[in-house]
Amino acid sequence: MSSNSKELTAAQKTIGDFAPKIVELTDDILFGDVWERKELSPRDRSLITISNLITSGNTEQLGFHLNKAKENGLSEEELIEVITHLAFYAGWPKAMSAIMVAKELFKNEE
């Protein structure tokens, strides 16, 4: 979303005043270009991103991307299954950390 838009992007809200260049790159290149490429569906991109965040142990951004995955057509059941499946490939502690993020997020949405 460009800076001319009325609604602020997630990056603008969280770090816009602190790191405007990374916000610009996030909004214009990552979400404005990479996420919009036609070679993969948004649903597939969400699966890849969530899997990478879990396998690398980076759960700080997992909540945002779980919500984005739901917007892109993945159900809570499917997302829980992704985490369960990755427990055996990424490691149990990483999966447990991810499932706690998902549990808290999904609970708060009810």
Could you report the per-residue pLDDT of 30-79, keeping only the tens digit for each?
999 999 999 999 999 999 999 999 999 999 999 999 999 999 999 999 99
pLDDT tens digits for range 88-105: 999 999 999 999 999 999
> What ranges do the domains of the chain cover?
8-39, 40-110
**Could you give the CA distance from residue 57 to residue 74 in angstroms, rounded to a whole number?**
21
pLDDT tens digits for range 57-68: 999 999 999 999
| 82 has pLDDT over 60 | yes
Model confidence at 109, pLDDT cuts 50, 70, 90, reads confident
Count CA atoms closer than 13 A to 21's CA, side-chain side: 0
Q: Which CATH class is domain 40-110?
A: mainly alpha
Read off the pTM.
0.87
Stated length of the chain: 110
